[in-house]
Chain A
Amino acid sequence: MECVFGLVGNGFAIVAADTSAVHSILVHKSNEDKIMVLDSHKLVAASGESGDRVQFTEYIQKNVALYQFRNGIPLTTAAAANFTRGELATALRKNPYFVNILLAGYDKETGPSLYYIDYIATLHKVDKGAFGYGSYFCLSLMDRHYHSGMTVDEAIALVDKCIMEIRSRLVVAPPNFVIKIVDKDGAREYAWRESVKDTAVPAA
């Protein structure tokens, strides 16, 4: 149901996530932002148990900030990914977090990078990755159309292809998506893709 996917392009990394918050058969809200800005140049796109998702990603965010205050320089993307994986691994055999994460970041020295971190603390550095039922479609599409060094426009076109595929082929397809990008200028929201807008409640 929850779909998160991302890819690395030429000097940037892009992640997209669905924005539905679901509990059993009820959709709580359809504009839940699941891509957290970890620090100025990192994005964490998370999916899974909603309590764990928020708790775990906020915990990582505050620890990344603490590192920066203690040491005067920010963590690299690789270091942040390994720290995240370490926390998941430590909790795994006691009280596991059910959160899947795609961590996208930009480092001045090494450029853009994307890390696949699943809930049992698997860590892979990847060019493209996806979680959820949507991954069955996204990974195939990305395998077909992805090439290294894509421009932002090419990458967005591929992201849109993936969103279209999810919408048309997944039985409980999430209606709305948010896309965020990280490059040398920082991490920021790129666009929303909404097919269902929340209507404003008229005044009584």
Chain B
Amino acid sequence: MARYDRAITVFSPDGHLFQVEYALEAVRKGNAAVGVRGTDIVVLGVEKKSTAKLQDSRSVRKIVNLDDHIALACAGLKADARVLINKARIECQSHRLTVEDPVTVEYITRYIAGLQQKYTQSGGVRPFGLSTLIVGFDPHTGIPSLYQTDPSGTFSAWKANATGRNSNSIREFLEKNYKETSGQETIKLAIRALLEVVESGGKNIEVAVMTKEHGLRQLEEAEIDVIAAEIEAEKAAAEAAKKGPPKET
């Protein structure tokens, strides 16, 4: 038994935790996920690598709800995600049972991040190989929030963020194009960001939207196609506008 107590995550001579960094590598290999916070809405989008023909796509939901007012998307090891999501769902109900109040987004993020950190400082275990994007509404004030956690157990709040494959490009795009939006505009921004790195079309992305009144709603493929088409049209119009004026002079 003593052999299994040996820590796997130990410091390197120059102060790195290599296991945590390797976990972050696993995240970088996972599918792209993006989250955008609007004034009255939060949007999560996830890249959907082509589903096998015989696979039932309904059983591979990548955006899940933790409670009526909290949703989560992640990038990295999906099996690790299942374990973390299960623990988070139990904590959401446990919180409601003991204090008769739904969790705040910050509370459940802190809980998940705490779990991820615990696994970097325990014997015989490896860190969770995923970063999460957690969205939701404060149950009392109704203010929307977006948080991100990573395998090291750090978390912070964001206006918009991305994780997984090509997250740097998506984040750059968001930094350039983010502005306070609401409703449909927020959904469009999230999809535009995701389409920077993913092939266009409803088949390749999964998008879910959360509002205070209606909770989490997964967008249908057809809806996503419509918005993607709008985005393409806007892009084409912008291109044409750029080329237009010089000809007139």
Q: Which residues of A contact B (CB under 8 A)?
A: 58-59, 62-63, 65-66, 69-70, 72
Report yes or no: B89 in contact with A69, Cβ–Cβ below 8 A. yes
B78 CB → nearest A CB, Å? 16
16 A–B contacts from the bound complex (CB under 8 Å): A59-B97, A62-B93, A62-B94, A62-B96, A62-B97, A63-B93, A65-B96, A66-B89, A66-B90, A66-B93, A69-B65, A69-B66, A69-B89, A69-B93, A70-B86, A70-B89
Q: Are A69 and B67 in contact (CB under 8 A)?
A: yes
Closest to A63 in B: B93
Q: In the complex the two chains form, is B97's CB within 8 Å of A58's CB? A: yes
Shortest distance from the beta carbon of B92 to any chain A beta carbon, whole Å:
8
In the assembled complex, the Cα of A58 lies from the Cα of B66 at a distance in Å of: 19
Compute how far the CA of A135 lies from the CA of B92 in the bound complex, rounded to whole angstroms: 38
A73 to chain B, nearest CB (A): 12
In whole Å, how far is A26's beta carbon from the nearest beta carbon of chain B? 25
Main secondary structure of the interface of B (DSSP, over half): helix
Task: Tell me how far the C-beta of B85 lies from the nearest C-beta in chain A, rounded to whole angstroms.
Answer: 9
Q: Which of chain B's residues has its CB closest to A69's CB? A: B89
Specify which chain A residues have a CB less than 8 angstroms from the CB of B93 in the assembled complex: 62-63, 65-66, 69
Cβ distance B159 to chain A, nearest Cβ, rounded Å: 27
In the complex, which residues of chain B have a beta carbon less than 8 angstroms from the beta carbon of A59?
A: 97
Nearest-Cβ distance from residue A133 to partner chain B, whole angstroms: 32
Separation of A69 and B85 alpha carbons in the complex (Å): 10
- Measured CB to CB, the nearest residue on chain A to B65 is A69
In the assembly, what is the distance between CA of A62 and CA of B66, in Å? Answer: 13
Chain A proximity mask over B89-125: 1 for CB below 8 Å, otherwise 0: 1101110110000000000000000000000000000
Listed from nearest, the 7 A-B pairs whose CB atoms lie closest are A62-B93, A62-B97, A66-B93, A69-B89, A65-B93, A58-B97, A62-B96
Tell me which residues from 47 to 82 in chain B have a Cβ below 8 Å from any Cβ of chain A: 61, 65-67
Interface centre among B61, B90, B94 (most CB of A within 10 A): B90
- Nearest to B89 among chain A residues (CB) is A69
Taking A62-B93, A65-B96 as known contacts, 9 extra A-B pairs with beta carbons closer than 8 A to each other, sorted by chain A number, are: A58-B97, A62-B97, A65-B93, A66-B89, A69-B65, A69-B89, A69-B92, A70-B86, A70-B89
